[in-house]
Structure 1
């Protein structure tokens, strides 16, 4: 399955300045809505889903969050990539009490449930590889992020 088509330069922000998770979801939801990728209900849905099913991942050398929500809130499929100026807290996937400070967030907006599971799995594999993480951390342009991820999916 080709997931690479869901990555677009216009959905990469490597310098996002937010103070907490609530502000993060507010800022990205407005941006994604303006660009036509999500519907009005997306913001509330992704916030609620994150409360029920946390998406923070503390990997060996890297922390990331991969929030997503139900397909009914997605207008066009996408993966948005955000690097934050300072870490914000997410709860570790599968817990409700382990905090993971995260500076990198990938927001999945997939409109086919079967594809979402596969994409999530592929992304987790990428970010668990030290060589990939090293390259990812040093990238400074949107196009380079897209290229790296596409080449490793």
Structure 2
């Protein structure tokens, strides 16, 4: 990413929050967020899964006035502005279509290789 990436992530998050309340899927899943910014601040294209050690407050994507404790991020890095909405939709579809027990397995994984293997197989 470019040097001002974090500042632009934070600014975009204020305008367009990315927190997702997973309780409609299952009360046993952690809330997630999908932070991203414009492609001009990114050098590549990938999704970076991040398990947070401590929950971080994000505003809800659907109800921006509501805050959520988020425990897992799908950080979008995308230097192709045309593909941003597509990647976001793919993540949302993944969360909605993956069985809860499998999502629990993902969110309880403690190693980078476990998370990578799970996403390679299921995403």
The structure whose RCO (Cα within 8 Å, separation 6+) is larger is 1
1:142 aligns with 2:89: no
The verdict on how the C-alpha distance between 1:97 and 1:42 changes in structure 2, with shifts beyond 3 A counting, is same
Aligned residues: 116
Deviation at 1:132, TM superposition (A): 2.8
Query: Are the counterparts in 1 of residues 72 and 107 from structure 2 also a CA contact under 8 Å?
Result: no
Partner of 2:78: 110
Partner of 1:55: 18
1:75 aligns with 2:38: no
Q: Distance in 1 between matches of 2:118 and 2:83?
A: 20
1:100 aligns with 2:68: yes
Unaligned runs of 5+ in 2: none
Deviation at 1:48, TM superposition (A): 0.4
Q: Report SS of the residue matched to 1:39.
A: coil
Q: Distance in 1 between matches of 2:63 and 2:117?
A: 32
TM-score normalised according to structure 1 size: 0.69
Deviation at 1:143, TM superposition (A): 1.4
RMSD after superposition: 1.5
TM-score normalised according to structure 2 size: 0.85
